[in-house]
Copies of this chain bind each other. A is one copy, B any other.
Amino acid sequence: MTYCVGLMLDKGLVFMSDTRTNSGVDNISTFSKMFVWEQAGERNITLMTAGNLATTQSVVSLLDERSKEPAARHPGILEAKSMFQVATLVGNTLKEVIATHAETGQRADAAFNATMILGGQVEGGAPRLFMIYPEGNFIEASFDTPYFQIGETKYGRPILVRAYDPTMSFEEAVKLLLLSFDSTIKANLSVSLPLDVHIYEANSLEPGAQFRIQPDDPYYDRISNDWGVALREAFGQLPDFTFPEGLA
């Protein structure tokens, strides 16, 4: 499994992904699920992937190859004129890769499927955030739904729903995402550190801050511990239930 979140803030886009891949519980590896393409001053694009690793690696390799060989199919991810065109390109590539494997006669319920979060900015447009489905179509984040999650999304959703605020700073956003990831990691063995982070400042069109949070990261440890304490305190401060009369 996997957990990736893309947040759209007033200040820009924040991406976080885990790095655990597993086939069953005893074939566990670390693979990055975050891929960044950038041309300073012109575009900055981030892709995060969940699902079949062979499929997602194949999609990324195809996008990469095309970006390196200008003579290859147009438009490449570095040539598309807008984020919408980039999303279309990624969606089509994803659909093609899945179809290729599905057509070889291998059938394994949805086993080649993958879902992706794509975000970034191309000169002349605003920052945009998309979720791309295995069928190649996609939806875009909006004011009402300003973030996307893929993979093991449920454990980490309540805190996002409660604490997300589009005006938050990047520092607060990383804190929020770490709490969301911590809830997931505590509950699901198939999601794990290290975590990849990419922060893109709106309208900068420059490489954003990109770093990896390691398993022994002191800030992560502190947030994880302090959040447990803070939750229990907040819980203690809420008024207790009182039994309906006659039932105590």
Contacts and interface: CB of A to CB of B under 8 A. Distances in A.
Given A235-B179, A248-B209, A157 B243 contact: no
A241 B170 CA distance: 8
Residue with the greatest number of chain B CB neighbours at <10 A, chosen from A159, A171, A178, A235: A235
Contacts of A179: 235, 238
Contact of A158 (B186, B238, B241): B186
A162 to B, nearest CB: 5
Given A154-B155, A158-B186, A187-B157, A238 B209 contact: no
A235 B230 CA distance: 8
A56 to B, nearest CB: 23
Interface residues of A, number: 46
Interface of A: 154-159, 161-163, 169-172, 174-176, 178-179, 183, 186-187, 209-211, 219, 222-223, 226-228, 230-235, 237-244, 247-248
A210 B157 CA distance: 31
Chain A contact residues: helix, strand, loop or mixed:
helix
Given A169-B240, A241-B178, A243-B209, A235 B183 contact: no
Residue with the greatest number of chain B CB neighbours at <10 A, chosen from A172, A187, A230, A239: A230
A209 B245 CA distance: 10
